[in-house]
Structures are given as C-alpha cells and as structure tokens.
C-alpha cells in the first residue's frame, strides 16, 4: 500500500482507538489533535524527520513510551500516522488544500463540573472555555494539536515575520483566550473577520495553514551551502601540506 494513500474513515477511527490505547499515565493526542499537530510539523521552517516528531503524539506533556510497549500496536499506529502525514504534506504541496479531521461536538452535553477544590487557574481556564462559541469549540482540539507542534518546535513562532504571526493568530482565535492581549486579538478578528458558520471557519483554518506553508517553503527547502575555511585546491595545484608535489599525487590521492 502506498505511503501516500490517505486514511479511510475506518482507518481514522482505528487510529483514534490506537491512540487511546497508549499506556497510562501518558496522555496521547486524539485523532483531531493529531491532525493539527501533523500540520504544525509540516509548516515548520525546517524539515522535521519522523523520529523527531513522532514521540510527541504519545503524551501532551512530553512523556516517553515505556520500552516494554507492544511492538505490534506501535508499528500499526506509526504506519497510519505516517500515511496521514504524507497525505497532508502532498495535499498542501500539490493543492494548497487539505481536509482537516474535525470531530463533532455535542453542544447539549454539559461539561463535567469542576471539583470544589479547583484552583483559580482551573476556574479561569473553564471560564475561558465557556466563553468560546460553538464553532471554536469544534475546532479547538485540532488547533490545540497544531499549537502543540509549535510549542515542541518553536522555530515557526520565532520567525520575525508579521505574516506568520497573523496566520497563527487566525488559528489561535479558536483556543481559550487567557490574557488581556489574547482576548483583544480574538475580539479584533471576530470584528474584522467574522466567521459565518463552521464550514466558513474550517475554510479559514485551511487557508491559514496553507499560508504558513507558503511563507516557510523557501526556508524549509533551502539547501545549506558548504562553507570552506580555505580555497578549494585543484588536483594539479601544489598540495597545501608543503610537500612540493601536486595535490593529486599527495593528499588528493586518497
């Protein structure tokens, strides 16, 4: 099976179940968060190899899988994740578009009440979440996964580029705003770029990611030029070792 073939609906469901089977106490990403995370990896200003980004999907706080983990489980999960990564990358490169994994949110389901001994930070986080509209609540897991990649690999956010910062803000508007500055940014976006419905918000999310891919493409595929500390020596030039022989007959003969 080609590594570029995207996952079927059944395979997405299988992937979600495999992620949920990550051994405790690790807290893995779910399928929607994983999808956002993979996009956050793809649009970085450098190419990131699988061995570097894969471990971060198994625990949101950076925990590592135990050495005794089920090899068959890990192999199957890795195959599915790598196929989705390849499909997302191909879609962004060839089409400038992709279909994100957005899970349905049951708006009628009440969130679990906070415990009586909840901290002020936990209460503030719940208040920020409650302030999100239904559209942002649906997109929040995907965007949280994207942000996870940006936190794991800070090169993207560190770029001194206002367009990059603006594109990130267009995504992060769907996360709970905690600081006055974040709330002001969200209010400005809602006022100047309102979203009509979930479909409109998904389209804007995809465009923001595609914009980031375009903004970082040149840096991501830039080939480093080898820096020489001394001029290149021709094979018929005198060997720089001082032997008096030609380079091809001395150190250049190896």
Residue 85 resides in a domain: yes
The runs of H, that is alpha helices, within 98-235 are: 120-130, 134-152, 162-172, 180-192, 198-220
Residue 122 resides in a domain: yes
Residue 91 resides in a domain: yes
How confident is the prediction along the chain (254 residues), in pLDDT tens digits per residue? Answer: 444 689 999 999 999 999 999 999 999 999 999 999 999 999 999 999 999 999 999 998 989 999 999 999 999 999 999 999 999 999 999 999 999 999 876 555 555 676 777 776 656 666 666 667 889 999 999 999 999 999 999 999 999 999 999 999 999 999 988 888 988 998 999 899 999 999 999 999 999 999 999 999 999 887 554 344 445 555 566 766 566 666 556 655 54
Q: What kind and span of H or E run contains 50?
A: helix 50-53
Number of folded domains in the chain? 1
Residue 172 resides in a domain: yes
Whole-number Cα distances in Å, 94 to 82, 143, 216: 18, 23, 15
Residue 195 resides in a domain: yes
Residue 227 resides in a domain: no
Q: In angstroms, rounded to a whole number, what is the distance separating the alpha carbons of residues 138 and 133?
A: 9
Which residues fall within 8 angstroms of residue 180, CB to CB, at 6 or more apart? none
Six-digit token string for 128: 């920020």
Q: What kind and span of H or E run contains 53?
A: helix 50-53
CATH number at residue 203: 1.20.120.740
- CA geometry: angle 99, 101, 107, nearest 5 deg: 125
Q: Provide the domain limits for residue 190.
A: 9-220
Which residues fall within 8 angstroms of residue 107, CB to CB, at 6 or more apart? 134, 137
Supply the pLDDT for residue 118: 72
Residue 90 resides in a domain: yes
Residue 131 resides in a domain: yes
């Amino acid at each position: 099976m080609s590594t570029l073939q995207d996952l079927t609906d059944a395979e997405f469901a299988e992937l979600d179940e495999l992620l949920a089977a990550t051994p405790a106490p690790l807290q893995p990403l779910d399928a929607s968060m994983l999808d956002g995370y993979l996009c956050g990896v793809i649009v970085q200003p450098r190419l990131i190899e699988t061995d570097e980004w894969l471990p971060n999907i198994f625990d949101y706080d950076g925990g590592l899988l135990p050495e005794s983990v089920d090899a068959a489980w890990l192999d199957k999960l890795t195959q599915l994740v790598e196929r989705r990564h390849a499909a997302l990358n191909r879609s962004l490169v060839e089409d400038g578009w992709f279909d994100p994994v957005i899970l349905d949110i049951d708006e009628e389901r009440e969130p679990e009440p906070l415990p009586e001994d909840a901290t002020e930070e936990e209460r503030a986080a719940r208040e920020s979440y409650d302030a999100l509209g239904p559209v942002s609540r649906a997109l929040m897991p995907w965007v949280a996964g994207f942000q996870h990649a940006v936190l794991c690999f800070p090169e993207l956010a560190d770029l001194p580029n206002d367009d990059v910062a603006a594109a990130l803000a267009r995504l992060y508007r769907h996360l709970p705003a905690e600081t006055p500055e974040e709330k002001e940014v969200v209010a400005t976006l809602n006022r100047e770029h309102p979203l009509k419905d979930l479909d409109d918000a998904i389209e804007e999310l995809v465009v923001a990611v595609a914009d980031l891919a375009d903004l970082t493409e040149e840096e991501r595929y830039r080939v480093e030029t080898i820096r020489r500390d001394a001029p290149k020596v021709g094979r018929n030039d005198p060997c720089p070792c001082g032997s008096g022989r030609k380079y091809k007959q001395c150190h250049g003969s190896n």
